[in-house]
Amino acid sequence: MGRTLRLAAVGLASLLILFFASTWLTTYHPTAIQSEPVFNKSPAPPLTPGQKLKILTWNVQFMAGKNYVFFFDLLDNSGPDERPSSDDVNKTLKEVARVIEKENPDIILLQEVDDGAKRTDYRDQLAELLSLLPQEYTSHASAFYWKASYVPHPRIMGSVGMKLSIISKYKIKEAFRHQLALKPENFISQQFDTKRAVLEVHLPVKKSKDLVVMDTHLEAFGQGSSVMAKQIKQTEKLLEKLSKEDSPWILGGDFNLLPPGRAFASLASEQKIYFKSTTEILPLFAKYQAVPGLKEVNSYDHERWFTHFPNDPKVKKPDRTIDYIFLSNKILTGKHYVRQFDALKISDHFPVITEFQLP
């Protein structure tokens, strides 16, 4: 009996080792800071001091469109949909390309770009989008923040791949991925979950310091935890370092946080559960230029600065601002806006755009 028990224990231990090994080998484990590949078509020109530019940030919701309520769109994971149709992905890619071509930004920050995900037919959405854009978009870099060969979630049951992407008309010299704090959960779940990050790229400026451009998508499901405060603190430290180095920088993306002021009080009561009454993003607004700015998001016409139209059926129109562009105080900000009017059905987020001038 003793020998049988020992053999059973050895067998169980072997199975557990195999399980943990296979989980580790099929999931993504980035380091705290790591280099990412940069792609430049020739010629990719550098920037010049004093140059006027335009930047656009947009969470494109894996090119799914607005015809769905995905399971994760509702707090209890009860949304009926698991994936968009291939036709909707094709239509949305074309619509995203149309808006970008109309806006003609010099730099594009995208969030939720699928690459190798079962839900979008394992397609490389960035490559497909680039094929639809003008040839002057010569440079790009990306960083994954959700990646696994197989996620055993009953509503996924397949591969995932989702990344931040920066596209530029100008040369990108180098790119880095900064790992952000993970939301608290058990070890196994954490391996298969998102690993939020900041993607940092350097654009050379003739006879001057590089322009540092950053793209991020903070935690979307951190309710009841301190993960948002931790991610903002990490981001703040990164911006402080760049500012001390006297580098001009821009940070944009989906922060999943309301702006300071009236936003929390004016949100529908059932939607407030996603947020804290005192927003964690306050330190960034206190130190740096923001688009939209505090006055705009707290003005009488604050609705034109809404950036998000949730897929929740209870929400009938755009109702919150959670996407922003922050700029170092060395940069002169110009005309800026949220493009809502023709983007209501492209994604659950709208493009945020600003013009600016380099030092």
Domain locations in the chain as residue ranges: 1-30, 31-357
Q: How confident is the model at residue 122 (pLDDT cuts 50, 70, 90)?
A: very high
Give the pLDDT score at 3: 66
Q: Which amino acid is at 44?
A: A
Running DSSP on this structure, what letter comes out for residue 320? B
Arithmetic mean of pLDDT over the chain:
95
Q: Is the pLDDT of residue 209 over 80?
A: yes
Give the pLDDT score at 15: 62
Between CA 29 and CA 2 the distance in angstroms is 40
Secondary element (H or E) of residue 139: strand 139-151
Pairing label, strands 139-151, 38-40:
antiparallel
Give the pLDDT score at 44: 86
Residues 311 and 19: beta-carbon distance below 8 Å: no
Ranking 11-25, 89-103, 242-256, 306-320 by mean pLDDT, the lowest is: 11-25
Q: What percent of the chain has pLDDT over 70?
A: 94
Q: How confident is the model at residue 293 (pLDDT cuts 50, 70, 90)?
A: very high
User: How many other C-beta atoms are found inside a 10 Å radius of the C-beta of residue 18?
Assistant: 10
Predicted confidence (pLDDT) per residue in 81-92, tens digit: 999 999 999 999
Rg (CA), the chain: 21
Predicted confidence (pLDDT) per residue in 154-203, tens digit: 999 999 999 999 999 999 999 999 999 999 999 999 999 999 999 999 99
Q: How confident is the model at residue 23 (pLDDT cuts 50, 70, 90)?
A: confident
Between CA 67 and CA 1 the distance in angstroms is 61
Q: Is the pLDDT of residue 22 over 80?
A: no
Predicted confidence (pLDDT) per residue in 295-305, tens digit: 999 999 999 99
3-state secondary structure of 145: strand
Query: Domain 31-357 has what CATH class?
Result: alpha beta
Residues 24 and 123: beta-carbon distance below 8 Å: no
Could you tell me the CA-to-CA distances from 121 to 79, 124, 191, 226, 319 in Å, in that order? 20, 9, 22, 35, 31
3-state secondary structure of 141: strand
Between CA 239 and CA 224 the distance in angstroms is 26
Residues 106 and 138: beta-carbon distance below 8 Å: no
Helix ranges (H only) for the chain are 2-25, 86-103, 125-132, 187-192, 227-244, 263-266, 282-287, 294-297
Between CA 72 and CA 153 the distance in angstroms is 12
- Look up the pTM and report it: 0.95
Q: Which pair of structure tokens corresponds to residue 59?
A: 């969470």
Q: Is the pLDDT of residue 1 over 60?
A: no
